[in-house]
Structure 1
Amino acid sequence: MRSCFLRQWALPVLAAVLATACATTRTTGGGSVGVDREQTMLVSSAAVDRSAAKAYHEAMGAAQSRNLLNRDPQQLERVRTIVKRLITVTAAFRSDAPAWRWEVNVVSSKELNAWCMPGGKVAVYTGLIEQLRPTDDELAAVLGHEIAHALREHGREKAGQEAGLNVAAAVGGALIGAYFGIDAGLGQSMIGGVGDLAFMRPNSREMEQEADRIGVELAARAGYDPQAAISLWEKMGRVAGGQPPQWLSTHPSHQSRIADLRVYAQRVQPLYSAARRSP
């Protein structure tokens, strides 16, 4: 009887909440790798870009105040040169991207990390450069991947998903709490946890796969060997060591990622060959 109640009342309400105010869009063209999934956006692009720019400048300001920003001119020049070449070919996925207000900085940190915020705000940590010792092709694979997240507006998409999940959890928690006689907060926590595993994490892996595929195409179009993405992740696997099970991770396993990259790096090989022939 209780399961019947949930099916007839609670679940339709949750579905209605998640469907409210949804707007689907295509942030990028599919490119040669064929990334053409429609995305649901609940937050405006302008709002996300403003927030990202503010957070980026605060983070870079904090790094500068601690003398951790752009300490090695050669490292900075190397990273900016690679990003500049990648920016030029972003038009293959969206025409407005080359004109974004791009910023590129290197932060002194032991972390193996790099990221690109919405609107083209890039940061590379020295730990990634010094521990992995990537070639320019491998560094282009990292940066192409991160830039792909910005092109696809994954941050904006994720913000909308989290907002929808929180609303659904609150409404569903109240319904379940009232019916089962438990605290509504507990019901909300249960739905939020299940939603995170069943919805948020799989989508995060999908976003990572999209960024991998677009990233190898950006690298290839910019004249960097797309096969370097494979050697990069092989290095990452050796450095990272053990991983949680793939279904509990927001990123694909190294084995899954490398297998996918092999297919798509080969697919964009003609673009790399063409870029190498260009003057």
Structure 2
Amino acid sequence: MHTKTAISRVLSGLGAACVITALAACSTVQTTGSGSVGVERKQYMSSMVSEQALEQEAAQQYATLVGQAKAQGALDVDAAQTRRVQAITQKLIQHVGSFRPDATNWKWETHVLSSDEVNAWCMPGGKIAVYTGLINKIKPTDAELAAVIGHEMAHALREHSREQVSQKMATSVGLSVLSAVTGVGGAADLGSALSEVMFTLPNSRTHETEADRIGVELAARAGYDPRAAVTLWQKMGSLSAGSSPPEFLSTHPSAASRSSDLTEAANKVMPLYQQAGGK
């Protein structure tokens, strides 16, 4: 009890200094244009976490994961399935310039990993993985698959991982100060922070909503019906029916609010879909 009290006093005394230090290391970054869906939130990134360093770390981790999957016979096993995923992804990549022109020069890479998990992700710099569990259990149409891949690509375009890592690294500055006084805690390294953000920590509601909206627009520009995002997440929701917590307890939007927001976003980008040849 006395130890906890002492630590609380130290935290109280150092709190302001730590916050000032963390804020001083952050700056406002405009990662993407707003697009037709209107994503305009200001983002704060730590100077300790550069875009280039995070992309390099992501590329290394991705190469390791792909190598492990290959060794286990779990990489791009179904040729037709892989071609389908990569073809859809390539169509989406052609339109990333609508949000950030520099992303057209990213070294995009896409693989299908054999796993029962219903999942897909895109690391910083455009390293994508789609799990067979998502394809086999959701049984998505091409438009629904475009919605989920576009959603994951949007996380990378908005640099949501860098934003989360920035928060962790900025916090570690305060922890380092605290560690010097108490001997507890310390700074997190970039690699472990990225791994935790990508594969352990959930995205915030704000990040999920932004990814939903940008993903819908990417799909529409690529000629995929943006309304498929609604049916996709309805299918996702049916897999976890009865197990999802109320929205105020969850970091993800509820199924109802997500469907409503996606419907609104889809309506906004319908002209883009029609321009791409959709009906």
**Does the TM-score normalized on the shorter chain lie above 0.5?**
yes
Q: What is the aligned counterpart of 1:53 among 49, 55, 59?
A: 59
RMSD: 2.5
2:111 alignment partner, SS class: strand
| Distance in 2 between residues matched to 1:57 and 1:277, nearest whole Å | 36
Residue equivalent to 1:99: 105
Does the Cα contact within 8 Å between 2:203 and 2:252 map onto a contact in 1? Answer: no
| Distance in 1 between residues matched to 2:130 and 2:262, nearest whole Å | 22
Aligned residue runs from structure 1 range 68-87, under 5 A: 68-87=74-93
Identity, in percent, stands at: 51
Q: Report the number of matched residues.
A: 254
Alignment CA distance shift 1:135-1:121 (3 Å)? same
1:243 alignment partner, SS class: coil
Residue equivalent to 1:197: none
| Distance in 1 between residues matched to 2:78 and 2:203, nearest whole Å | 37
| Distance in 1 between residues matched to 2:183 and 2:249, nearest whole Å | 26
Alignment CA distance shift 1:258-1:174 (3 Å)? farther
Residue equivalent to 2:260: 259
Alignment CA distance shift 1:184-1:257 (3 Å)? farther
Greater shift, 253-262 or 132-141, is seen at: 253-262
Q: TM-score, normalised by structure 2?
A: 0.83
Residue equivalent to 1:209: 209
Q: Hey, which bits of structure 1, 4+ residues long, moved more than 6 A?
A: 172-175
2:53 counterpart of 1:25: no
| Distance in 2 between residues matched to 1:64 and 1:260, nearest whole Å | 39
| Distance in 2 between residues matched to 1:73 and 1:128, nearest whole Å | 16
Q: TM-score, normalised by structure 1?
A: 0.83
Gap runs ≥5 in structure 2: 1-8, 186-200
| Distance in 2 between residues matched to 1:262 and 1:26, nearest whole Å | 26
Residue type at the aligned position of 2:149: L
Residue equivalent to 1:219: 219
2:253 alignment partner, SS class: coil
Residue equivalent to 2:151: 145
2:14 counterpart of 1:13: no
Q: Which has the higher helix share?
A: 1
Instruction: Please report how far the alpha carbon of residue 253 of structure 1 lies from its aligned counterpart in structure 2 after TM superposition.
Output: 1.9
Does the Cα contact within 8 Å between 2:225 and 2:278 map onto a contact in 1? Answer: no
Alignment CA distance shift 1:260-1:171 (3 Å)? farther
Instruction: Please report how far the alpha carbon of residue 17 of structure 1 lies from its aligned counterpart in structure 2 after TM superposition.
Output: 2.7
